[in-house]
Chain A
């Protein structure tokens, strides 16, 4: 749910990067954080284990203004991908305005993609959010690795709602920006429609 302050002309929106463990969610928002101008970003927070696995969430605040002085703040969150953190994933979805589903393209990780998608749909349902009504983008990551599934298979199995989707190699920044721009575009469009 976006929050609008008409006094300060600020709009806050929450975008969550969801996906199975080690699919590259943190790599995505870290890349965005590293390439955004310093004046447009706040502090990046990472709540991770000693082995750099996300324990609770990562958080990146981004600000952008238009000529009329309206400031939009995108709060980017990642979820912990590992199965044991199901409860934490649900907490992070609270108040979500848009979701990026980061899938691991490797064949051996496809079951994990499918399980995580089911987990996401169920968690959204608990917040009374219908997955077919929320801004959503799919990203098929790790395209540079051997043994990847074709985009057609990934699209057929995961992107059941025919949403925009992108191939990516997040470690090199390929596809990261396109994914981010698409989800923010959808979130802004929804904001406009609801006002």
Chain B
């Protein structure tokens, strides 16, 4: 089970925010390949449904990876999608995670984004490797998770449940 401690969450968020600033990106998402949002840069001006964005990103990368395998390539390393005004650059990190950079094409460009991502790649990977090591070594996983009184009935409009 993947988990982030508060200090790891802060460290990752700060790094992504710095990368967003350096690359003049609108926002940066850090997603796992199953489609779960792990972290994102502090980008208050950007509003979107982050969770849905993460899920679609993972689907997109998974489909492209399967395509590249059909072509005989073992792995997909990165991909780029373009809309009229925005660029979406996705890079697979360590085969497990996806870094997504969204930028305004009038403010930044793919060259700058790739250069800056290259610079930060090892640092991001370093944090995640540390997180993975910590999870592996933890024999007593935190008892801080408390899902005891999750009330599913409260999810639905009255009369449905």
**A67–B155 contact, CB under 8 A?**
no
Given known A-B contacts A94-B33, A95-B34, A177-B160, A73 and B151 have beta carbons under 8 A apart: no
Contact with B along A56-74 (1 / 0, CB 8 A): 1101011011111010110
Given known A-B contacts A3-B38, A43-B52, A91-B62, A70 and B147 have beta carbons under 8 A apart: yes
State the interface size on chain A (CB cutoff 8 A).
52
Task: Answer yes or no: B1 CB below 8 A from chain A CBs.
Answer: yes
Q: Which residues of A contact B10 (CB under 8 A)?
A: 7
Among residues of A, the one whose C-beta sits closest to the C-beta of B70 is A87
Contact with A along B1-29 (1 / 0, CB 8 A): 11111100110000000000000000000
Task: Answer yes or no: A121 CB below 8 A from chain B CBs.
Answer: no
Chain B min CB distance to A127 (Å):
10
Q: Which residues of B contact A195 (CB under 8 A)?
A: 1, 141-143, 145
Which of B1, B6, B34 lies in contact with A194, CB distance below 8 A? B1
The B-contacting residues of A in range 79-98, CB under 8 angstroms, are: 87-88, 91-92, 94-96
Chain B min CB distance to A35 (Å):
5
Given known A-B contacts A5-B3, A87-B66, A91-B66, A35 and B151 have beta carbons under 8 A apart: no
Task: Answer yes or no: B85 CB below 8 A from chain A CBs.
Answer: no
The B-contacting residues of A in range 139-195, CB under 8 angstroms, are: 173, 177, 180-181, 184-185, 188, 191-192, 194-195
A-B contact pairs, 7 of them (CB 8 A): A8-B9, A35-B157, A64-B150, A64-B154, A70-B145, A75-B35, A88-B63
A→B interface (CB under 8 Å) = 1-8, 11-12, 14, 35-37, 40, 42-43, 45, 47, 56-57, 59, 61-62, 64-68, 70, 72-73, 75, 77, 87-88, 91-92, 94-96, 173, 177, 180-181, 184-185, 188, 191-192, 194-195
CB-based closest 8 A-B pairs: A95-B34, A7-B9, A7-B6, A4-B3, A91-B62, A12-B36, A3-B36, A61-B51
